[in-house]
Amino acid sequence: MKRLATSLLFALGLLAGCDKPYRRVAFELESTPPTPVHFDSDHISLVVGVAVQVKATPKRARRAYDFDVRFSLQPEDAKLLSVLDGQGRHEFVFVGLSQGSTCIDVRVDGHEEECIPVDVGPAP
Amino acid sequence: MPTRPDVRRGVLRTALLGLALLSGCPPTPDHFQAGELGKGTFAYACVNGTDLTCGSDEFTVPFVVAVGGRFGAKFQTNKGEALNVTIPTTELVTRADGSFRAIAPGMFPLLAVDGNSRVIDFKHVQAKKISDIHLVSTDDQVFPSSFRLAVGSTQTFTVEALGDDGAQLRGALDYTWRGLDDALDISAPNQRGEVRVTAKREGTSAIEIGVLDRTFRIDVNMGSGRFADASANLPGLDASIDGAIIDEQTDAGAP
């Protein structure tokens, strides 16, 4: 009986999302920047003066986030990098403003999940 | 003998031309370029008549501006909606009084934004330093290094800025004109950047034209009536100086 209750509680916990929900952000380039850029879950690099639009999708371990999950990307140093909302859902436009290193705060449903390192290189 | 409709058309045309001149830009079509997200088209917008590329049919692409030159931009979605264009302030470009100004060579994006501050489209723009200048007479003759002028005659010029590849650069720029001596009478630039140069006596002289942190020199040969006004680089003329740089200071001179 005790074992059954424990199993039930564990199953309910999983259904309620009590497993570690956030895993990473998947990036998909939606524009062709004039200089090479790099976007992955662990690291981003672009150069000063270049804009690029990406679709960013938060991922978690077991099941997808709800469609209307609140999701934002904010640069820690807004002097180096600008991240603007694009037209579509989870579309963002990154613009390198000044050379240096910073990171992007990933917030999902109001929780700060991680800060992805970003390098902004010199203007080409 | 002009008919009444002819006269009416003439008056209308003159009035339109006058309005265009007052606004500082000739009445020519915009030059559109597709945004990189395919949501609409960008157009170059001249700030004032000193931008020699204002309204010119020749300068559709590429979209290259002079470092220090002021310019504007417009955007229209594919559905015909006009949106604001802005530029993120970077170490390469600034915004002021509704216009933009590149402050260093490089690249920067024009961003078309909607009422919710969402970026709908963007377009990268190249900025280049001015490598050379040419004088352009009102009859569209180009004088890269020197010109001839008959004593007592006057010619009107504007300046075109060129990049290192010889292509004309866009943007409104403030030029300073100075005669090397009193052999030339040089007027102040008007709203369209036009300057009138009058030869006062025979001989040679030069004009120094300053823009940002650079000064360029154009030689002037003045003679009697045998000289055609502003004849371009005739054989035997000194063509050794091609808009020569005679004084170059630091790069930080861009306002």
Predicted ipTM of the assembly = 0.84
Angstrom CA distances, B93 to A74, B33, B47, B101, B253, stand at 22, 20, 16, 6, 14
CATH class of the domain comprising B28-128? mainly beta
CA B61 to chain A, closest CA, distance in angstroms equals 16
Query: Is residue B45 over pLDDT 70?
Result: yes
**Neighboring chain B residues of A50 at a CB cutoff of 8 Å:** 107, 109, 124
Asked if the structure places residue A59 within a domain, the reply is: yes
User: Nearest CB to A86: which of B91, B92, B119?
Assistant: B119
Asked if the structure places residue A51 within a domain, the reply is: yes
Per-residue pLDDT, B192:
86
Query: Is residue B56 over pLDDT 80?
Result: no
**Neighboring chain A residues of B114 at a CB cutoff of 8 Å:** 87
**Residue B139 contacts A where some CB pair is shorter than 8 Å:** no
Q: Cβ–Cβ of B92/A31 closer than 8 Å?
A: no
Rounded mean pLDDT, B123-134? 94
**Neighboring chain A residues of B107 at a CB cutoff of 8 Å:** 34-35, 49-50, 123-124
**Neighboring chain B residues of A48 at a CB cutoff of 8 Å:** 90-92, 106
| Band of residue B245 on the pLDDT scale cut at 50, 70, 90 | very low
Strand partners, B66: B128
pTM of the model: 0.75
Per-residue pLDDT, B29:
40
| Band of residue B246 on the pLDDT scale cut at 50, 70, 90 | very low
In which region does residue B76 sit, left (phi positive, over 0), alpha (psi from -120 to 50) or beta (all else)?
beta
| Band of residue B16 on the pLDDT scale cut at 50, 70, 90 | very low
Beta strands in chain B (DSSP E): 32-34, 40-45, 64-66, 70-77, 82-86, 93-96, 99-102, 106-113, 119-128, 132-137, 142-143, 146-150, 154-162, 175-179, 184-186, 195-199, 203-211, 214-223, 244-248
Query: Is residue B188 over pLDDT 70?
Result: yes
Best residue of B91, B103, B123 to probe chain A, by most A CBs closer than 10 Å: B91
Query: Is residue B11 over pLDDT 60?
Result: no
Per-residue pLDDT, B230:
52
A20-29, B45-54, B223-232 — most confident range: A20-29
**Neighboring chain A residues of B124 at a CB cutoff of 8 Å:** 34, 49-51
Determine how many CB atoms are found less than 10 A away from the CB of residue B17.
Answer: 12
Q: Which residue from A minimizes the CA distance to B125?
A: A49
Report the CATH number at residue A47. Answer: 2.60.40.1080
User: For chain A, how many structural domains are there in total?
Assistant: 1
User: Nearest CB to B90: which of A48, A85, A87?
Assistant: A48
Per-residue pLDDT, A73:
96
Q: Cβ–Cβ of B90/A98 closer than 8 Å?
A: yes
Query: Is residue B24 over pLDDT 70?
Result: no
In which region does residue A17 sit, left (phi positive, over 0), alpha (psi from -120 to 50) or beta (all else)?
left
| Band of residue A63 on the pLDDT scale cut at 50, 70, 90 | confident
Angstrom CA distances, A60 to A28, A57, A74, stand at 17, 10, 19
Question: Which sign, positive or negative, has the C-alpha torsion B17, B19, B22, B25?
Answer: negative
Complete edge-to-edge strand list for the sheet that includes strand B154-162: B142-143, B132-137, B154-162, B195-199, B184-186
Q: Cβ–Cβ of A87/B119 closer than 8 Å?
A: yes
Asked if the structure places residue A7 within a domain, the reply is: no
Query: Is residue B117 over pLDDT 90?
Result: yes
d(CA B134, CA B113): 37
Query: Is residue A115 over pLDDT 50?
Result: yes
Containing structural domain, residue A72: 20-121
| Band of residue B27 on the pLDDT scale cut at 50, 70, 90 | very low
| Band of residue A30 on the pLDDT scale cut at 50, 70, 90 | very high
Per-residue pLDDT, B249:
34
First to last CA, chain A: 68
First to last CA, chain B: 55
Query: Is residue B83 over pLDDT 80?
Result: yes
Asked if the structure places residue A3 within a domain, the reply is: no
Cα B176 to the center of its chain, rounded Å: 14
Rounded mean pLDDT, B60-67? 74
Query: In whole numbers, what is the pLDDT of chain B averaged over residues?
Result: 78
Query: Is residue B155 over pLDDT 90?
Result: yes
Rounded mean pLDDT, B15-35? 50
Q: Cβ–Cβ of B120/A51 closer than 8 Å?
A: no
**Neighboring chain A residues of B116 at a CB cutoff of 8 Å:** 85
Query: In whole numbers, what is the pLDDT of chain A averaged over residues?
Result: 87
pLDDT digits (tens, 9 = 90+) for B163-175: 999 988 989 999 9
Asked if the structure places residue A11 within a domain, the reply is: no
Query: Is residue A21 over pLDDT 90?
Result: no
User: Nearest CB to B119: which of A48, A84, A99?
Assistant: A84
User: Nearest CB to B117: which of A32, A85, A96?
Assistant: A85
SS (H, E, C) chain A: CHHHHHHHHHHHHHHCCCCCCEEEEEEEECCCCCCCCEECCCCEEEEECCEEEEEEEEEECCCCCCCCCCEEEEECCCCCEEEEEECCCCEEEEEECCCEEEEEEEEECCEEEEEEEEEEECCC
| Band of residue A2 on the pLDDT scale cut at 50, 70, 90 | low
**Residue B118 contacts A where some CB pair is shorter than 8 Å:** yes
What is the residue extent of each domain of chain B?
A: 28-128, 132-248
| Band of residue A29 on the pLDDT scale cut at 50, 70, 90 | very high
CATH class of the domain comprising B132-248? mainly beta
Per-residue pLDDT, B113:
97
Per-residue pLDDT, A43:
97
pLDDT digits (tens, 9 = 90+) for B196-218: 999 999 999 999 999 998 999 99
Best residue of A72, A89, A93, A99 to probe chain B, by most B CBs closer than 10 Å: A93
Per-residue pLDDT, B48:
77
To 10 degrees, the CA torsion angle through A37, A40, A43, A48? 20
Asked if the structure places residue A6 within a domain, the reply is: no
Asked if the structure places residue A15 within a domain, the reply is: no
**Residue B84 contacts A where some CB pair is shorter than 8 Å:** no
User: Nearest CB to B88: which of A95, A99, A123?
Assistant: A95
d(CA A29, CA A37): 9
Per-residue pLDDT, B225:
64
CA B51 to chain A, closest CA, distance in angstroms equals 24
